[in-house]
Amino acid sequence: MTLAASRTDPTQSSQPIRGYLFVVIAVVFWAGSASVAKIMFQTRFDALIVTQMRTSLSFLMLALFFALTNRPMFKIAWRLVPALAIVGVFGVAATNFSYYYTVEHATIATAILIQNTAPVLVALYLGFITKEESFTRLKAVALVLALGGCYLAVTGGGSLDLHLTGWTRVTAFAASFCYAFQLIYSKRLLRTVPVWTFLMYAFGFAGAFWLFINPPWAIAAKHYSSGDWGVLLFFAVFSILIPHSLLVSALKLLEASRVAIVTTLEPFLAILFAYIIVGESIGVVQVIGGIAIISAVVLLQLRPHQYLKKLRSVSAH
């Protein structure tokens, strides 16, 4: 064996760290955007226009940028078009609308808590049904810690009152299923599709879908001001364009189940931001929940088999 072959490739060893960092930064943006969306719903905007514009404006920004700088990004095999349409409509569009509808008509806590059951669906499906990923004891412990921490962060250790009425009884759980589907399906497509090409087409198909639901003349009838469009543009960038770009990049580097577990940081960060920015209270139980989720993220980065292999190698010498 040559010296070069015996060394660990620094690029490969840094990939998981970069992947986890991408997800954490994405979650920071999502945690802040949930509170912003709730404020927007109390003014001139509803869940439909917010969902539609965040994907449509993100698509237009990406399409314009690459049309001017890198047109080959638009090239895609025709056989992949239906799959990209599916992930755009049933993944991006359905997840966003069901989540924000629940935020608007129920509570942020309810929407976040139920959507964060998605890691269980992802881990079980990929671990036991398709067997695309391994379901290790370490991952199981991390999953339990993440979900338990999420519950404590959202409820503060008190009784669980989901405040679900009307269509939120459907949309709350649809957000979880659609998000799990989005992660699984995106991971598969990203094996052959570049990140930016994937994002353009996913956002584009989501935007095209919403045009059938809420056509341009219906939007024009709202008489939004230039200031309103500025708010929608700002929200599109910080609630989906930046974080979703990071999420998709992380899916290139990590297992979908690991990415899903790390996203359970969102409720604790949302509460932390509310405490820092708005002055809302934060309890000891919620802090414990946050610690549990962070512990789950740390656990995911451990690779016991690698450490055992190194120990055996050292003891052999």
Residue 5 inside a domain? The answer is: no
Closest CA to 97 of 170, 46, 47, 55: 47
How many other β-carbons are positioned within 10 Å of the β-carbon of residue 24? Answer: 17
pLDDT tens, residue by residue, 195-206: 999 999 999 999
In a domain, 44, yes or no: yes
Question: Tell me: the pLDDT tens digits for 236-286?
Answer: 999 999 999 999 999 999 999 999 999 999 888 877 877 776 666 778 888
Structural domain boundaries, residue 292: 16-316
- Rounded percentage of the chain residues whose pLDDT exceeds 70: 88
Average pLDDT over residues 161-180: 88
* Tokens coding 215: 């056509």
CA distances (Å), origin 293, targets 71, 94, 121, 219, 305: 41, 26, 18, 40, 23
How is residue 248 written in tokens?
């998709």
Q: What is the mean pLDDT of the chain?
A: 86
Residue 1 lies in a domain: no
Phi then psi for residue 215, to 5 deg, are -65, 165
Question: Which tens digits make up the pLDDT trace of 34-88?
Answer: 778 888 888 889 889 999 999 999 999 999 999 999 999 999 999 999 999 999 9
Confidence at residue 14, expressed as pLDDT on a 0 to 100 scale: 65
Domain count, the chain: 1
> Is 6's pLDDT higher than 50?
no
Q: Which of 206, 187, 195, 198 is nearest to 125 (CA)?
A: 187
In a domain, 11, yes or no: no
In-domain check, residue 266: yes
What's the pLDDT at 10? 41
Q: How many CB atoms lie within 10 A of CB 61?
A: 16
DSSP 72: G
% of the chain surpassing 90 pLDDT:
59
Phi, psi (rounded to 5 degrees) for 104? -70, -45
**Statement: residue 4 has pLDDT above 60:** no
Q: How far apart are the two ends of the chain, measured CA to CA in Å?
A: 17
Task: Note if the pTM is more than 0.75.
Answer: yes
- On whether the CB atoms of residues 118 and 179 are closer than 8 A, the answer is yes
186 CB-near residues (< 8 Å, 6+ apart) = 87, 91, 198, 202, 248, 251, 256
Q: Give the per-residue pLDDT at 308.
A: 43
Q: Tell whether 7 is covered by a domain.
A: no
Distance CA 133, CA 127 (A): 5
Residue 9 in domain: no
Q: At 184, list the tokens.
A: 């699984």
| pLDDT at residue 313 in the model | 53
Distance CA 161, CA 39 (A): 22
Query: Longest Cα pair distance anywhere in the chain, in angstroms?
Result: 77
Distance of CA 270 to the CA centre of its chain: 14
In angstroms, the Cα distances linking 281 to 27, 110, 153, 284, 287 are 21, 18, 12, 10, 11
CA gyration radius for the chain?
A: 21
Confidence grade of residue 152 (pLDDT, cut at 50, 70, 90):
confident
d(CA 238, CA 316): 52
Asked if pLDDT for residue 8 goes beyond 80, the answer is no
On whether residue 6 sits in a domain, the answer given is no
